[in-house]
Structure 1
Amino acid sequence: MKLYAFVAAFVAVAPMAFAAPTQTASTSAGDVLVNKDGMALYTFDKDAGGESACYDDCATAWPPFAAKEEVADEGGLTKITRKDGSLQWALNGRPLYFFAGDAASGDVNGEGMGGVWHLARP
């Protein structure tokens, strides 16, 4: 009976653990890609070849959207490996980031920053 309860609990939780890491939300800038908490995701023009160019101070201001190995790629969402070996989500090969200046879901304060940061669009 204990095994049955464990399996039932795992089956109930498993879909949440492996759910798509993004969704679409309507913001003042239009429809954008957000994480499960509604925080906007961005791309960086200086990224190339499916690799991140944002490290150190850049990654403090623009934290990478961390990925876990056990969450499957879905559609255009894939994982890239950063220089430190950590995983980051990418959309169609473009690494995804948050902006430290966005405090709440729906914030899109990083749009167009420096002419190289752009909201990720579905």
Structure 2
Amino acid sequence: MNHLAQSWKALLVTAALTLPTLAFAADPAMMKDGMMVDHKGMTLYTFDKDSGGKSMCNDDCAKNWPPMMAPAGATAEGKWSVIKRDDGKMQYAYDGKPLYTFVKDTKPGDMTGDKMKDVWHVVHESQK
């Protein structure tokens, strides 16, 4: 195999490995079984006390309801946005609502936090 053919093959292999990663990064979460989950399959929730694209869940609250953090420099489009938390870190929001997981959800598909204290809610497909 000549050098040009080897380079072309290497480029194709690199593209094949990179493109799924780029597609994966495009949406911070996905729908599964009618509910929104992160890329680990963990259920995502909204908090009724959040408003105006601002998280009101900090300190002990955020220990129980870990925010869906966005990496530094993350961008979003459509209904997705990135908000700045009180601690200066970035968090994903959907349709203006910050997103969280729940510490008591131990495996993908768990949704033990739904309707907790009537202020925590699973994000359902009908909301998408």
TM-score, normalised relative to structure 1 = 0.83
* Alpha-carbon shift at residue 11 of structure 1 (Å): 7.3
Q: Does 1:22 align with 2:29?
A: yes
Partner SS state of residue 66, structure 1: coil
User: Are 2:66 and 2:100, in contact at CA under 8 Å, matched by a contact in 1?
Assistant: yes
Bigger helix fraction: 2
Distance 2:16 2:96 in 1: 31
Partner SS state of residue 67, structure 1: coil
Query: Match of 1:67, as an amino acid?
Result: A
Matched residue, 1:98: 101
Evaluate the alpha carbon distance shift between residue 8 and residue 45 of structure 1 in structure 2; reply closer, same or farther with a 3 A threshold: same
Alignment of 1:60-79 (within 5 A): 60-79=63-82
| C-alpha RMSD of the superposition | 2.3
Question: Any idea what the Cα deviations from partners look like across 1:70-93, whole Å, max 9, x if unmatched?
Answer: 443133111101111111000111
* Alpha-carbon shift at residue 69 of structure 1 (Å): 3.8
Evaluate the alpha carbon distance shift between residue 67 and residue 10 of structure 1 in structure 2; reply closer, same or farther with a 3 A threshold: farther
Distance 1:84 1:118 in 2: 24
Evaluate the alpha carbon distance shift between residue 8 and residue 21 of structure 1 in structure 2; reply closer, same or farther with a 3 A threshold: same
Distance 1:7 1:69 in 2: 29
Return 5+ residue gaps in structure 2 as ranges: none
User: Are 1:43 and 1:94, in contact at CA under 8 Å, matched by a contact in 2?
Assistant: yes
Q: How many residue pairs get matched? A: 118
Match of 1:83 among 75, 83, 86: 86
Distance 1:72 1:12 in 2: 22
| Percent of pairs with identical residues | 40
Partner SS state of residue 21, structure 2: helix
TM-score, normalised relative to structure 2 = 0.80
* Alpha-carbon shift at residue 42 of structure 1 (Å): 0.2
Matched residue, 1:13: 18
Partner SS state of residue 37, structure 2: strand
